[in-house]
Structure 1
């Protein structure tokens, strides 16, 4: 089996695994990528995500993860499961809890990693001495940049990967291998003069085309930031308690998105239509039980609850919500206590 036949066999098996697409690139990104990443880090846009500084531009060179690597196989797996009008209705309902739609089902890391492992095992049947390593946010690798270089899509102005027929609502994964496969070519951007994603960002986190200041991004603030969300962003957060999809909801290319049939990505525990007050009632045991196997689990109960409390501060003034906050103001966890005090003030409750 020659290289072209092997590549075709790999792509066909990837499709059988339910992967949206499969493209191949070389193990190193261009010096331009190194310069852009270095500048982004120097500007402090990473926030508290120290792992970016720890690995630096090594993220752009796959041999840092697998020394024997000669090719990077990039794949995409769709996750969107609902109607866009329904999604917008939840965002517009101040009493509803909005969770980024990628997190409504099971943890994508495990799902996609399993597919990549299967793909690697298939290649091993064809080439017994192959070396490979699957990566799904599990190693320092600039996945969007490698996907762009592989021609899997182009980078949108919101910094996410876009495909002309399927938009951006999918997960990315990489399979690093020591096989020298023919790389695909990059494809041109089709964003043109469109800047809807930049205009739609609630906190103006997209500070320039293709550049996101994580310190302003609601996804970062509700997931990656270990401390409480800064006061300046709390109102803009609205009812978003885990992640944010606004930049993707307005993207014209996402109108082509078809609902994922992946069973693991279907909604669990009714999280697509649940009120903030309902979630406030969860204790830590309920959180751990219901969020087991979910990407939400990793932020922990206290961060989760503080996000919910802040979102309740954005609901129309309510004596009921104020009464729920009073006992939380003395909670031993500072994230919860500080959030409750702020929310209490938003409901005109005297200090």
Structure 2
């Protein structure tokens, strides 16, 4: 039996750069399971895509001898990102290393090695409800935007990533804090700010309407009624976090520049992304934003075209015309047509008129819509 104490574990986690540590039991998350079962219309897609969220509510499906969940708290917004990138990408993805495994992954691996050296086996399941585990470990509360807010770090903001480590040793659990922590005086800023009305109030969300979901799990051509509300985000979304009064203290902080991300800024410019080939995508983009592999390159480019249209920037007109002419995916070409119509101007109109007839019914309809003919 190991003599490792909670204090030893906390000290090691802090040494490795984690900013808070909590402990909870490995008991099933029965309430969360009931929640998922009751809302299969909204969460059934997760099971269909293999995410296995319902299975993840029982830690013993991950480790039969599970006794404790250790939750490590990572602040993913310690350094500021280039403003242009923050406008188009959710911050939690900008320094993500789940593919490259050259940052956070190394520290998690070092933590698990530390536990193993003392005879403690561990697993880090992707489908366990990490935020609920963090609340059950007393590390913070939830917001009306369904995000987790730390009690101790990031000035008690939501710029945190709880990492649940399931272990086969018993440790005394911390006092739970599973509750809504929003101040009474907040008048639902996040719910009001959600342009697709994904946030439903009382800490609930329809993920199928969430901009983040739509940008990387969307199927087919984005419905016309969602294109303008999705704005200029290409991958992910931070709108409900940006307007939240609980996040204002951290957003006001004078943070240093994240140089790792800044070095990649030119690869993530809209003009570079719209007409990138598969080789560029695989080597420069996908390793940092892993939800969409090469088979979803069309979705990336469609998102970029929609974002370009919503900027109303005539500087993107040539890029969109080129993409319409050279891209072979009708979903991307259709969005280019829509974007040209939204940007407007004589060059856009002349190009759209030249694209008629569209070749397919979908393309022709989008071109005619962009020209104001339907």
Change (3 A) 1:292 1:239: closer
Deviations 1:70-89 (A, max 9, x none): 101111211115559x75x8
Change (3 A) 1:80 1:179: same
Q: What is the rounded CA distance, in whole Å, between the counterparts of 2:34 and 2:331 in structure 1?
A: 37
Number of the residue aligned with 1:70:
67
Q: Give the alignment partner of residue 288 of structure 2, picking from 286, 294, 297.
A: 294
Structure 2 unaligned blocks of 5 or more = 354-366, 368-374
Q: Give the alignment partner of residue 325 of structure 1, picking from 321, 326, 331.
A: 321
Q: Is the counterpart of residue 230 in structure 1 residue 223 in structure 2?
A: yes
Greater RCO, CA 8 A, separation 6+: 1
Number of the residue aligned with 1:154:
141
Change (3 A) 1:102 1:327: closer
Number of the residue aligned with 1:94:
none
Residues 213 and 236, structure 2, Cα contact 8 Å, conserved in 1: yes
Pairwise mapping of residues 63-102 of structure 1 onto structure 2 (< 5 A)? 63-82=60-79, 87=83, 98-102=88-92
TM-score, length-normalised on structure 2? 0.78
SS in 2 for 1:48: helix
Q: What is the rounded CA distance, in whole Å, between the counterparts of 2:270 and 2:257 in structure 1?
A: 27
Residues 23 and 151, structure 1, Cα contact 8 Å, conserved in 2: yes
Deviation at 1:240, TM superposition (A): 0.6
Q: What is the rounded CA distance, in whole Å, between the counterparts of 2:213 and 2:318 in structure 1?
A: 27
Q: What is the rounded CA distance, in whole Å, between the counterparts of 2:138 and 2:286 in structure 1?
A: 35
Residues 157 and 209, structure 1, Cα contact 8 Å, conserved in 2: yes
Number of the residue aligned with 1:315:
311
Deviation at 1:34, TM superposition (A): 2.5
Change (3 A) 1:25 1:291: same
Q: Give the alignment partner of residue 238 of structure 2, picking from 245, 248, 257.
A: 245
TM-score, length-normalised on structure 1? 0.83
Number of the residue aligned with 2:209:
216
Number of the residue aligned with 2:95:
105
Number of the residue aligned with 1:13:
12
Q: Give the alignment partner of residue 265 of structure 2, picking from 265, 270, 294.
A: 270
Residues 274 and 301, structure 2, Cα contact 8 Å, conserved in 1: yes
Residues 24 and 73, structure 1, Cα contact 8 Å, conserved in 2: yes
Number of the residue aligned with 1:192:
183
Q: What is the rounded CA distance, in whole Å, between the counterparts of 1:29 and 1:192 in structure 2?
A: 30
Number of the residue aligned with 2:38:
39
Q: What is the rounded CA distance, in whole Å, between the counterparts of 1:17 and 1:171 in structure 2?
A: 15
Residues 99 and 271, structure 1, Cα contact 8 Å, conserved in 2: no
Q: What is the rounded CA distance, in whole Å, between the counterparts of 2:28 and 2:254 in structure 1?
A: 32
Structure 1 unaligned blocks of 5 or more = 92-96
Deviations 1:136-178 (A, max 9, x none): x3xx211111111111211211111101433111222111111
Residues 26 and 70, structure 1, Cα contact 8 Å, conserved in 2: yes
Change (3 A) 1:246 1:212: same
Q: What is the rounded CA distance, in whole Å, between the counterparts of 1:242 and 1:319 in structure 2?
A: 21
Larger Rg: 2
Change (3 A) 1:37 1:283: same
Number of the residue aligned with 2:196:
203
Change (3 A) 1:134 1:114: farther
Change (3 A) 1:67 1:48: same
Deviation at 1:280, TM superposition (A): 2.4
Q: What is the rounded CA distance, in whole Å, between the counterparts of 1:344 and 1:266 in structure 2?
A: 30
